Amino acid sequence: MNLNDYYGRRLLVGRDDTSRDHFPALQVLPTIEVGPAMIRCLRCNHQTPKTVAALPRGEYYCPHCINLGRVSTLTKFYHVPEPNQFSPVKPVLTWQGTLSPFQQRAAEAVKEGMKRHCHQLLWAVTGAGKTEMMFAGIAAALERGERVAIASPRVDVCGELYPRLQAAFANCQVVLLHGHQPTPYRYAQLTICTTHQLLRFYRAFDNLIIDEVDAFPYAANPALLFATRQALKKDGGCLYLTATPGETLLREVRRHRLTVNYLPLRYHGELLPTIKLRLAINWRKQVKRQRISQGIIRQLRTSLLQGHRFLLFVPHVADLAPAEKALRKNFTAEKFTTVHATDPDRMTKVQQMRDGQYDFLITSTILERGVTFAGIDVYVLGADDEVFSSSALVQIAGRAGRSPQRPTGNVVFWIAGNCRNVRQAVAQIRLMNRKGRKLKSELSSLQ
């Protein structure tokens, strides 16, 4: 056992564990708070009726976070306060890239906020280069000897961030933590993890960055919001990154509990691609018969003839197989496949798409964010389905136009009729593009 495994963490042990006899620095913390009728888990903060949480002989457990190890009155937490035992090696930031004037202004605001341990929101459009805009603030924090974490709700996003952060901070210890990661935990100054992994930390981080804060499951999970607060030191700072902030964040901004910085332009200085709407009233019935309208086929074929690969989103996993069969009849020479959240080959397929081994992917909402494919077009079949929130549709549209060589890209939504989620997505992109045009005008007038 290494004592540094407990730095800034709460690790479960049995009630009768005697490790503390050999390591007096270990603090013992309770795991369950027992009330008259309810128990409260001190890891995830869920309250559960005693009748539901009961174990034999008057013991209780939390059923909500059991996938991280069973918290019960039969267990306890071991914890060592974060000592910040780091000796930064210079240069801390080894990234050799440059930021645009738009990005530089936002990056300086982020850096200053992290220095003052503020709680702040960076509202930047998809493809604005949020990751690179974090670098200066992270580097300054690491030079100060602080412990920093970047957390995202999505494993895919963590997988994309890890090699980029490793390259940008080559002289720093970086660790990646998520449920599918075979490498064991190790103490590191810079941590990249899923937001669920924050449940294992306690008063660990001087600065915590939550990427894609609007994404499922973070936005709708009170336990993950609690985990964020618990993982931060009492005087720690938190930076929220998103292209589509929800009402909770916007309310915090209005109440002046959260400072906000905007970046309505993408990293290459261009606007978001606009959404084109097309009617496809009975598309699901047709797909189930292994047929797709010629208008849809023409649009998809146009992309390929112009040398542009694409993503085709469908609402549900059940739509993937029939859509694939229908498209096989029309695209006999092209290479494509399906991908979804529980696909065991998901990460391999995504990498193969990046490497140009597929002409297109048919996907569920799993690829709505956190993945980048250069120069692609984006299509959504059944965009008016209730599974697509307006923020999800904005993120999906943002998969296009991410390359400076092709900053536009086709974005087409096929719908059966007018609906709120699509209207809001179209309106939000128009709003950010108006802000983007204004910003470009302001900066050009200063040059």
pLDDT band, residue 268 (cuts 50/70/90): confident
Please list, in sequence order, all residues whose beta carbon lies within 8 angstroms of the beta carbon of residue 284, skipping any fewer than 6 positions away: 319, 382
Identify the domain boundary among 236, 263, 290: 263
- C-alpha to C-alpha distance for 67 and 79, rounded to whole angstroms: 20
- C-alpha to C-alpha distance for 122 and 241, rounded to whole angstroms: 5
Q: Is residue 376 part of a domain?
A: yes
CATH number at residue 400: 3.40.50.300
Q: What does the pLDDT read at residue 220?
A: 67
152 near 161, Cβ under 8 Å? yes
Q: What does the pLDDT read at residue 177?
A: 95
**pLDDT for residue 17 is more than 80:** yes
Q: Is residue 228 part of a domain?
A: yes
Q: Quick one: 256 and 306 in the same domain?
A: no
Percentage of the chain beyond pLDDT 90 is: 74
Q: Which domain holds residue 75?
A: 3-79
**pLDDT for residue 215 is more than 80:** no
Q: Quick one: 138 and 225 in the same domain?
A: yes
Q: Quick one: 252 and 108 in the same domain?
A: yes
Q: What does the pLDDT read at residue 447?
A: 58
- C-alpha to C-alpha distance for 295 and 273, rounded to whole angstroms: 21
What average pLDDT does the segment 168-176 reach?
96
Q: What does the pLDDT read at residue 249?
A: 81
Q: What is the pLDDT of residues 39-71, one digit of tens each?
A: 999 999 999 999 999 999 999 999 999 988 999
Q: Quick one: 74 and 222 in the same domain?
A: no
Please list, in sequence order, all residues whose beta carbon lies within 8 angstroms of the beta carbon of residue 219, skipping any fewer than 6 positions away: 153, 213, 246, 248
Return the higher-pLDDT residue of 22 and 319.
319
Please list, in sequence order, all residues whose beta carbon lies within 8 angstroms of the beta carbon of residue 446, skipping any fewer than 6 positions away: none
Q: What does the pLDDT read at residue 184?
A: 86
**pLDDT for residue 446 is more than 70:** no
Q: What does the pLDDT read at residue 312?
A: 98
Q: Is residue 162 part of a domain?
A: yes
Q: What does the pLDDT read at residue 101?
A: 86
Q: Is residue 157 part of a domain?
A: yes
Please list, in sequence order, all residues whose beta carbon lies within 8 angstroms of the beta carbon of residue 97, skipping any fewer than 6 positions away: 132
Phi, psi at 202, each rounded to 5°: -150, 115
pLDDT band, residue 98 (cuts 50/70/90): very high
Strands 119-124 and 259-263: parallel
Three-state SS sequence of 358-376: CCEEEECHHHCCCCCCCCC
What average pLDDT does the segment 335-354 reach?
94
Q: Quick one: 288 and 343 in the same domain?
A: yes
Q: Is residue 270 part of a domain?
A: no
For the whole prediction, is pTM greater than 0.75? yes
Q: Is residue 296 part of a domain?
A: yes
Which two structure tokens, joined as six digits, stand for 442?
């302001």
Task: Kindly provide the residue ranges of all beta strands, DSSP E only, lying in 38-189, ordered along the sequence.
Answer: 38-41, 47-49, 54-55, 59-60, 75-79, 119-124, 148-152, 174-177
Q: Quick one: 38 and 159 in the same domain?
A: no
Q: Is residue 447 part of a domain?
A: no
**pLDDT for residue 324 is more than 70:** yes
- Domain count of the fold of the chain: 3
Q: Quick one: 283 and 407 in the same domain?
A: yes
Q: Which pairs from 15-19 meet CB under 8 Å and 24+ separation? A: 15/73, 15/74, 15/75, 15/76, 17/76, 17/78, 19/78
DSSP-H helix ranges across 247-293: 247-254, 283-288
**pLDDT for residue 237 is more than 90:** yes
What average pLDDT does the segment 121-141 reach?
93
- C-alpha to C-alpha distance for 95 and 14, rounded to whole angstroms: 44
Q: Is residue 15 part of a domain?
A: yes
Return the higher-pLDDT residue of 181 and 234.
234
Q: What is the pLDDT of residues 347-388, one digit of tens each?
A: 899 999 999 999 999 999 989 877 889 999 999 999 999 999
Identify the domain boundary among 79, 112, 142: 79
- C-alpha to C-alpha distance for 236 and 243, rounded to whole angstroms: 24
Which two structure tokens, joined as six digits, stand for 76?
């306890």
Q: Quick one: 154 and 209 in the same domain?
A: yes
Q: Quick one: 183 and 309 in the same domain?
A: no
**pLDDT for residue 29 is more than 90:** yes
pLDDT, averaged across the chain: 92
Q: What does the pLDDT read at residue 163?
A: 94
Q: Quick one: 237 and 362 in the same domain?
A: no
Q: Quick one: 374 and 245 in the same domain?
A: no
Q: Quick one: 73 and 113 in the same domain?
A: no
Identify the domain boundary among 231, 263, 295: 263
